[in-house]
Structure 1
Amino acid sequence: MLRNWGALVMYTMISLAIFYVGFQLVNNPSSFLSSIIMTIGIAVLVFGAIYFLFLRNRVGSGSGRNSNEMKKYKQAVKQSKQKYKSSQPIKSNKSKLDTKLSVNSKKKKPKRKNTPNLRVIEGSKSKGKNRATF
């Protein structure tokens, strides 16, 4: 019975709030919109203050492990950029004759520079049952 009483009070409060919001919206929409904007602004300010004062340090540093991993990741990205930056060809201004020659050379199938290193592993394969026959 106590649970039903608490639910009844909660539903009554929610219905009165909805009724008040509808009443304000119909009678004074400009005041309603300004109060909604003020409420949202205050909520954003409070959340921002709580985040910057308390939560920012916890989320960013973690247990110290995340910051070390992030440093390692940034170092790896930096090395990768340096590696692939030097291997890319530098584009230069070409004349019309060069462009015609390059169009003809594009028609040829280019050879792969980096072939995959594949290895064949030989072994006996056991024959499975032929499931097509019963």
Structure 2
Amino acid sequence: MRNWMTPIIYTLMALAAFFVAFQLITDTTGFLGSMITMVGVAVLIYGAIYFLFLRNRGVSGGSGNEMKKYKQAVKQSKQKYKQPTPTIKKSPLSKVASKPSANPKRNRKRMNAPHLRVIEGNKNKDKNRASF
């Protein structure tokens, strides 16, 4: 089946290339106008298909349920680590007007380090280090 289709396809491609070259030489403005029209129609068709069918599938092709879970996890992570919002830099005059706190150690909260973990060991081996 492919043996007799191959020459037909090559012939159609050669005729199309000849027609494009002929159209470009004889009527350049009409050719460019028709090309712009074809590209515009193709973009409109692709946009309609994308917004009707492909948009709801998500960026990575995952289901909507997975995306909801991901967004919820991101929200929980932001709440846990309290990521600060970007601050606007103030002018140098406002720095002079603000007072530094009297005791910076008192204002600082003790922060839990989530990367540190207590490892449970053998509790039976209590050594009295003072007896050595």
Measured against the shorter chain, the TM-score band is: 0.5 to 0.7
- TM-superposed deviation, 1:53: 1.0
2:37 equivalent in structure 1: 38
1:130 equivalent in structure 2: none
2:63 equivalent in structure 1: 62
1:127 equivalent in structure 2: none
Distance 2:7 2:21 in 1: 21
Written as runs of structure 1 = structure 2, the 5 A alignment for 1:9-88 is: 9-59=8-58, 62-77=63-78, 80=81, 82-84=82-84
- TM-superposed deviation, 1:56: 1.2
Conservation of the 8 A alpha-carbon contact between 2:24 and 2:31: yes
- TM-superposed deviation, 1:72: 2.0
Percent of pairs identical after alignment?
39
CA separation of 1:92 and 1:19: change in aligned 2, threshold 3 A: closer
Number of residue-to-residue matches in the alignment: 92
TM-score computed with the length of structure 2 as normaliser: 0.56
CA separation of 1:65 and 1:29: change in aligned 2, threshold 3 A: same
Distance 1:43 1:71 in 2: 37
Q: Is the partner of 1:20 in helix, strand or coil? A: helix
CA separation of 1:23 and 1:65: change in aligned 2, threshold 3 A: same
Which runs of 5 or more structure 2 residues have no equivalent in the other structure?
A: 97-115, 117-132
Conservation of the 8 A alpha-carbon contact between 2:57 and 2:63: yes
Q: Is 58-67 or 30-39 further displaced after alignment?
A: 58-67
TM-score computed with the length of structure 1 as normaliser: 0.55
- TM-superposed deviation, 1:67: 2.2
Distance 1:79 1:32 in 2: 61
- RMSD of aligned Cα (Å): 3.1
Matched AA of 1:68: K
Which runs of 5 or more structure 1 residues have no equivalent in the other structure?
A: 96-116, 118-134
